[in-house]
Amino acid sequence: MKIKPGQIERLVGQLLKTYRVDELMVSKAAEGEIRTKIGEIIAQNFHEEEAIEDEARKMLASHAGQVKEVKEMDSYKMFILIKQKLAQKRGFIL
């Protein structure tokens, strides 16, 4: 899944706001450092998920002929199943 830098910034802002309102965190670093680190983590997570999706698409494409033979399953359901299995294998939580 692709995400724009502006979307990440808004997500970081919402997370920090919610965590502060609910008193779930105490800041020990500067605001800018916290925002940067959280943004990097979120971007990395989306990048990892995108890599899993790319690998799932490649696997699905390489077995396209076999998938067409199995008429009960549509390609999107197969993509989701492959993506879930790859994520599980890598220890990635979707």
**Measured between alpha carbons, how far is 82 from 68 in angstroms, rounded to an integer?**
16
DSSP letter (8 states) at residue 48:
H
The mean pLDDT of 15-26, rounded to a whole number, is 93
**Measured between alpha carbons, how far is 79 from 81 in angstroms, rounded to an integer?**
5
CB 53 within 8 Å of CB 59 = no
pLDDT of 49 reads: 95
Rg from Cα positions in the chain: 18
**In the chain, how many domains are there?**
1
pLDDT of 76 reads: 86
Phi and psi of 52, rounded to 5°? -65, -45
27 vs 63: which has the higher pLDDT: 27
Chain centroid to CA 66: how far? 28
pLDDT of 69 reads: 62
**Measured between alpha carbons, how far is 31 from 37 in angstroms, rounded to an integer?**
10
Q: What is the pLDDT of residues 37-93, one digit of tens each?
A: 999 999 999 999 999 999 999 998 887 766 566 666 677 888 999 999 999 999 999
Q: Which domain holds residue 66?
A: 5-90
The mean pLDDT of 13-20, rounded to a whole number, is 95
